[in-house]
Amino acid sequence: MATAEAKIHLSAFTNEPFVDFSKPENRKGMEDALKKVASEFGREYPMYIGGQKVITTAKRTSANPSHPSQVLGVFQEAAADHANQAVEAAYKAFDSWKQVPAEKRVEILLRASDIIRKRKFELSAWICYEVGKSWAEADADTAETIDFLEFYCREMLRLAGPHPVVPMKGEKNYLKYIPLGVGAVIPPWNFPAAIAAGMTAASLVTGNTVVLKPSEESPLVAAKVVETFYEAGVPKEALNFLTGPGETVGDALVKNPKTRFIAFTGSKEVGLLISENASRKVPGQLWIKRTVLEMGGKDSIIVDEEGDLDSAVEGVAQAAFGYQGQKCSACSRAIVSEKVYDSFVGKLVERAKKISVGPSEDPANYMGPVVSETALQTIFGYIDLGKKEGKLVLGGERAPGDGYFVPPTVIVDVDPKARIAQEEVFGPVLAVIKARDFDHALEIANNTEFGLTGAVYSKNPAKLEKAQEAFHVGNLYLNRKCTGAMVGAHPFGGFNMSGTDSKTGGKDYLLLFLQGKTVAEKVAN
């Protein structure tokens, strides 16, 4: 049997290059995009259910965290009834979308990738405004969006099959992968384009239909992704778009009997609630719901006395304070050998003092705002706690400006079991912990309920080999920072309370959205 791969010939996957903003033409391209999208501030965005625009009486707005009084867009406030209507619509559309050949689905999503690539400055500008990412961080989000589309399209061609199995005498047999059904896609705000597009694309390219409900903090970027998918040719019936609170809309999506799977990225608490609710069979439900859960982290970088101290300082600074520490992969704990502890702390503080904080549309700022007033208050609550549990040596006060600005904050001499060393802060707050030796450092690194990312700086091959075996994280990095996973090269997902180890951007990921069907036909000898 011919495979779908033979019908479409694509080059090998390569990651989308990052934009070099030192080049005048790129700098001007981003400046022009920021002006262009600013002219669209205040526009109202509809929901889409069953191919129809839906407007509600209740509204919610999306604001710029660099300038909170600035309204970027107006959105509909969905209720549980809207969620159930969207699932019904997606369930109905599944019968036709699943019949679309894999090659055609791939063509549509590759078209979406091309559109985003041509307009990457515009998408990056929206990301910059809505969630406070710097130019470089926003560009990385957009590049990852393209990468997910390109990678998953190639993976779908590989999986489209049918696939040979062990031959059986007297039979003609094979395996094929088929879609699951209706997926509830619930992405976070911190990668508002890449994760929203990635989970949605993985669902659609495999033949499933989707109800996408973005975070309340980033509906605008998600709306832009949806508009792009529609423009590329994704049927509106196959991709339903809802905006509203997770506790009502998201809850209804998870509990609906016709929801077949839930793809979620967000906090541990919400992920566990989704897992619990999805596990309960409700009347009319014909399947065990599948959950793809990417949750939190309390990620550590171990700095060994045999490591390059300057490289370690740079890696920790970038991983702890890049995008204001608002990444599940961010370094929130530096575990440092007592032999270099004082030197490391001194160098790190001096490095972090050089970080500029301010509005994210200004390219001079390495750090922008945290995403909301709620996030700001939560972070300062942890800083107050950290002052009691350790010694504050940098930061700790709100940075100037009307936005939600938190400067790099370093708390040293933290006990490995302190709350500031155990709980996810999701902000630019680093706890520094002293380790007696390398074994002690590994013990501390593994002492949380999470297991997402980690890194080790050491020139000792035996220690690096030990870390590869003993450091219990889904993504381990040696002599580099613990953030910046690249699609294809670093399949991403963690252990324990960090989720179901989904390995986004890897060759296992699309299998989470498919089920295998074996076909065997008796034939004459």
| pLDDT band per the 50, 70, 90 thresholds, residue 392 | very high
List 300's β-bridge partners, or say none: 333, 454
Q: So what's the pLDDT on residue 161? A: 86
Residues 6+ apart with CB under 8 A from 503: 474, 491, 492, 493, 509
Report whether pLDDT(6) > 50: no
153 given a catalytic annotation: no
| pLDDT band per the 50, 70, 90 thresholds, residue 83 | very high
- CA 278 to CA 359: how far, in whole Å? 40
| Residue 19 C-alpha from the chain's centroid | 20
- pLDDT tens-digit series, residues 308-342: 999 999 999 999 999 999 999 999 999 999 999 99
DSSP letter for 220, please: H
3-state secondary structure of 487: coil
Among candidate residues 294, 305, 361, 424, the one labeled active-site is: 294
| pLDDT band per the 50, 70, 90 thresholds, residue 3 | very low
**Mean pLDDT value of segment 87-102:** 98
- pLDDT tens-digit series, residues 340-371: 999 999 999 999 999 999 999 999 999 999 99
Report whether pLDDT(5) > 90: no
3-state secondary structure of 338: coil
In order of their start, the domains of the chain are: 21-295+502-518 (3.40.605.10), 299-486 (3.40.309.10)
Report whether pLDDT(525) > 80: no
List 492's β-bridge partners, or say none: 504
Structure tokens at 160: 């489209």
Among candidate residues 328, 331, 361, 424, the one labeled active-site is: 328
Q: So what's the pLDDT on residue 1? A: 37
3-state secondary structure of 82: helix
Alpha-helix runs per DSSP H in 43-97: 80-97
Q: Are 102 and 164 in contact (CB under 8 A)?
A: no
Only one residue has tokens 């004459």, namely 524
- CA 394 to CA 409: how far, in whole Å? 5
Structure tokens at 333: 């704990």
| Helix (H), strand (E) at residue 145 | helix 135-159
3-state secondary structure of 41: coil
3-state secondary structure of 391: strand
Structure tokens at 65: 């965290």
- pLDDT tens-digit series, residues 298-312: 999 999 999 999 999
Only one residue has tokens 């549980």, namely 80
Residues 6+ apart with CB under 8 A from 185: 196, 199, 200, 203, 210, 211, 212, 213, 263
- CA 105 to CA 362: how far, in whole Å? 39
Q: So what's the pLDDT on residue 524? A: 82
C-alpha distance across the termini of the chain, in Å = 20
| pLDDT band per the 50, 70, 90 thresholds, residue 495 | very high
| pLDDT band per the 50, 70, 90 thresholds, residue 133 | very high
- pLDDT tens-digit series, residues 33-81: 999 999 999 999 999 999 999 999 999 999 999 999 999 999 999 999 9
- pLDDT tens-digit series, residues 415-439: 999 999 999 999 999 999 999 999 9
